[in-house]
A and B are shown apart, each in its own frame.
Chain A
């Protein structure tokens, strides 16, 4: 308390912001509030969260309702966007800036300070030391010491005086800045996030096959102009064989500007399309409300003697099998066909998991047979009379669901991430290492004194010093 005397208010505030104690308080507050935020589903229907409260804490419905009301008024149901959470993040950033600025001058001084020769008694007190005596002259041993030092990566300077010859070197002095580079990277990431919030948007777009849109939609249906047109040319789902689990779903998109096609790309989850800073992510899909009403089927009719013809038709229309008098009439469509225990076909899902068409075949004047052709099961495509009808595709029935994102800050965030990786590497895997080798002649032999220090990872430097000491004595013997 004594030293606090004479400090101004500003000094005290500065000290508070530079303290680890404030950081701990901020860490704790962010963590504690976030825990509430992970339990309550954010921006969800109240009923959902009431269920969560009932299940997790055993409240009755009434109490849960009340508790949720209180939490809601404190903005906990959308807390990551609330003013007080942003204020906490701001406090965190301020803390980080001021504590870094507070310590930086001292650290910079240590970085800039060049390694200097040391009195022998100082070298003897280093955290790593090694002494031995060798016959010969100091000038001879110096060469071995020089090569020994460079073999473990140091570029030594030398001096000679009353106490003999001294070699000294350092490396990695800049690594002391690693911590501050890491701090800076956090600020850069936060800055990138702010840029994203102010100059970007997150929206979605459900685009049926064949349709064009010049806007995307935010929550509550707010339209956001894209600045160009996007067309969905096709959409397709691939399933794992024998299951209804999608393996991949893909949209073929075309970007158009002023009515002209500019670029084309097919997107899947994990591989989006970016145009003029707007990125489209494959995120979901579904069937259009009208169902197969306006959809087009792509069938390939193959006759028994090998003639084939591709047909694009709608439900209710008919087609002919080439070279035969047989015609097929598409009378029904099912997005997901299955067969019940009595062998009767039924539709088990509104999703297009197992699309099938019912085709009634006839020759002039008489009905032949009818049956379901399933897109995923080619064995259903062969007809009893040796003809085949291949169910290749359907079109205009599904929409592709896309996340639409514009975020000019994302590059800043990535930059921050790279800087963070560099900063962490410097902080944890590199160190500032200094080494001194003093050679003192005494009665026909030379006393070799090695001293070294490292601000981190002392043991690894210790091993290197050991290696160097062996090299110096061995080199000397070998040299004779």
Chain B
């Protein structure tokens, strides 16, 4: 089980990187930025090693070839791969645009995903492959889906950044939109942090109890008072972000990234992510479904939600290219599009049933 050690190291590295990037954004110390990048790269190398090790372990246990033994068969493995793609895309952006400020927006998404793994108590064991997943399409379909998810996550981050930089008035719709979105994101992170703390203290880390502990210390608590307090706290966080959002704007504006660069990044990540999602997620998925189940499209919840996601990004591209929408309007679409991605990926597995239920354990 050596791979889990390296995964653990990577998780710690990414959480430190998140703190460092936010620190870099706040204090504008170049040395902090260099440390942040170094820590991120170290985490990435460690995670790459871990992925390869797990791949080899999987191959050993399943007794299959390399192509089929790709460790992308359950929620845990897919989240790990999602984070890996996200960090890879981020590092490419950092080196191409020679700018670190995106890090403070992208590493929290990675940290959120990793915290989610522990809080939902999903199984980290290598599970033997059920017959339906024994196909060469697994590699192409799942990998491409997650590469596109990572690109959409980038567009979410840059879309949010753009809105922050471009909104001035507190009563402006775009200002309210980004403060509410960021407020909810912060509240979710805080709730997960709270889960972590209460869990570690109350149960001393007993692994079997953590199953589905997500939000048990806040929104899903058994006590109505705690639920009410959590909702009030969320409203409070949103209010604080709304009230002091201007400060964040000043910090980001202080960096030498133009709003146009951010806007272009949003567009570029969607312009690359959309065809990859269409081909790998929808088309390869349909071909595989046709071979495995004899139906290329069944309106199964996962399929339906990926179609909804596809509509969102198709709308983004059309409104930008056809209608010439630029700036704030399309940034809002990019942010909402990623909400659809998160639901396609996690919501469907956790809330709805269907053929794609492999990931729910």
B173 at the interface (CB under 8 A from A): no
Given contacts A34-B304, A272-B291, contact A246 B131 (CB under 8 A): yes
Residues of chain B from 277 to 295 with CB closer than 8 A to chain A in the complex: 278-279, 283, 286-287, 290-295
Chain B residues within 8 Å of A427, by CB: 275
CA A410 to CA B308, docked complex, whole Å = 23
Shortest beta-carbon distance from A7 to chain B in Å: 21
Q: Tell me the minimal C-beta distance from B316 to chain A in angstroms.
A: 11
Interface residues in B163-213 by Cβ distance below 8 A to A read none
* A410-B318 in contact (CB<8A): no
Docked CA distance A417–B279 (Å): 8
Pick from A56, A410, A421, A429: contact of B290, CB under 8 Å: A410
Tell me the residues in window 315-346 of chain B with beta carbons closer than 8 Å to chain A beta carbons: 315, 318-319, 322-323
CB contacts (< 8 Å) of A404 on chain B: these are 294
A199 to B292, CA, bound (A): 21
Known: A23-B318, A34-B308, A424-B278. Contact between A269 and B283, CB under 8 A? no
Query: Within the complex, which residue of A24, A80, A282 is in contact with B299, where a contact is CB–CB below 8 Å?
Result: A80
Question: Would you call B16 an interface residue if the criterion is a C-beta within 8 Å of the partner chain's C-beta atoms?
Answer: no
Q: Is B314 an interface residue (CB 8 A)?
A: yes
**In the complex the two chains form, is B279's CB within 8 Å of A270's CB?**
no
Residue of B nearest to A243 (CB): B128
Partner of A193, one of B297, B301, B348: B297
- How many A-B residue pairs have C-beta atoms within 8 angstroms? Tell me: 100
**Which residues of A, 405-431, contact B by the 8 Å Cβ criterion?**
405, 410, 413-414, 417, 420-421, 424-425, 427-429
Contact assessment for B128 and A240 in the assembled complex, using a CB-CB cutoff below 8 Å: yes
Considering the chains assembled together, what is the distance between the CA atoms of A241 and B354 in angstroms? 28
Contact (Cβ within 8 A) A247 B131: yes
Q: Which of A36-44, A315-323, A338-346 contacts B (4 or more CB under 8 A)?
A: A36-44
Residues of A close to B305: CB separation below 8 A = 38
CB distance from B176 to the nearest CB of A (A): 21
Expressed in whole angstroms, the minimum distance between the Cβ of A188 and any Cβ of chain B is 13
List which A52-105 residues lie within 8 A (CB) of chain B: 56, 80
Shortest Cβ gap from A285 to chain B (Å)? 11
CA distance A403 to B308 in the complex (A): 28
Q: Decide if B45 is an interface residue (CB 8 Å cutoff).
A: no
Asked whether A268 and B131 contact (CB < 8 A) given A35-B308, A38-B305, A80-B299, the answer is yes
| Inter-chain contact B274/A281, CB cutoff 8 Å | no
CB distance from A86 to the nearest CB of B (A): 12
Contacts A270-B292, A414-B287; is A248 near B275 (CB within 8 Å)? no
Q: Is the CB of A246 within 8 A of B130?
A: yes
Across the interface, do B293 and A283 meet the contact criterion of CB distance under 8 Å? yes
Complex CA–CA separation, A37 to B348 (angstroms): 12
Asked whether B131 lies within 8 Å of A270 as measured between CB atoms, the reply is: yes
Residues of B within 8 A of A38 (CB): 301, 304-305, 348, 352, 354
Q: When the two chains form their complex, are residues A245 and B128 in contact, meaning their CB atoms are under 8 A apart?
A: yes
Q: Which residues of B contact A413 (CB under 8 A)?
A: 286, 296
From residue B219, how far is it (CB to closest CB) to chain A in Å?
14
A131 at interface, CB cutoff 8 A? no
A152 interface contact, C-beta 8 A = no
Complex Cα–Cα for A56 and B134 (A): 33
Instruction: Report A-chain residues with C-beta under 8 Å of the C-beta of B308.
Output: 31, 34-35
Shortest Cβ distance from B305 into A: residue: A38
A134 at the interface (CB under 8 A from B): no
Which B residues, 298 to 313, have Cβ-Cβ distances below 8 Å to chain A? 299, 301, 304-305, 307-308, 311
Q: Find chain B residues with CB under 8 A from A282 CB.
A: 131
> Of the candidates A56, A271, A417, A429, which one forms a contact with B287 in the assembled complex, judged by CB atoms under 8 Å apart?
A417
Mark out the residues of chain A between 293 and 322 whose CB falls within 8 Å of any chain B CB in the assembled complex. none
Is the CB–CB distance between A42 and B299 below 8 Å? yes
As a 0/1 sequence over residues 92 to 131 of chain B, the CB contacts with chain A under 8 angstroms (1 = contact) are 0000000000000000000000000000000000001111
Of A243, A270, A405, A420, the contact of B283 (CB 8 Å cutoff): A420
Q: Is the CB of B271 within 8 A of A20?
A: no
In the bound complex, residues from chain A placing their C-beta under 8 Å from that of B26 are: none
Q: How far is the CB of B222 from chain A (nearest CB, A)?
A: 15
User: Which chain B residues border A27 with CB–CB below 8 Å?
Assistant: 311, 314-315
Residues of B near any A CB (own CB < 8 A): 128-132, 134-135, 271-272, 274-275, 278-279, 283, 286-287, 290-297, 299, 301, 304-305, 307-308, 311, 314-315, 318-319, 322-323, 348, 351-354
Residues of chain A touching chain B, judged by Cβ–Cβ distance below 8 Å, are 20, 23-24, 27, 30-31, 34-35, 37-39, 41-42, 56, 80, 193, 202, 240, 243, 245-249, 268-272, 279, 281-283, 403-405, 410, 413-414, 417, 420-421, 424-425, 427-429
25 contacts between A and B (CB under 8 A): A20-B318, A24-B315, A34-B299, A34-B304, A35-B308, A38-B304, A38-B305, A38-B348, A39-B352, A56-B351, A80-B299, A202-B294, A247-B129, A248-B131, A268-B131, A269-B132, A271-B291, A272-B291, A281-B293, A282-B131, A405-B294, A413-B286, A424-B275, A428-B271, A428-B275
Q: Which 10 A-B pairs have the closest CB atoms?
A: A38-B301, A269-B131, A405-B294, A424-B275, A403-B294, A281-B294, A80-B299, A27-B311, A240-B128, A270-B135
7 further A-B pairs in the complex, CB-CB below 8 A; given A34-B307, A249-B131, A404-B294: A24-B315, A35-B308, A38-B348, A243-B128, A247-B129, A270-B292, A403-B294
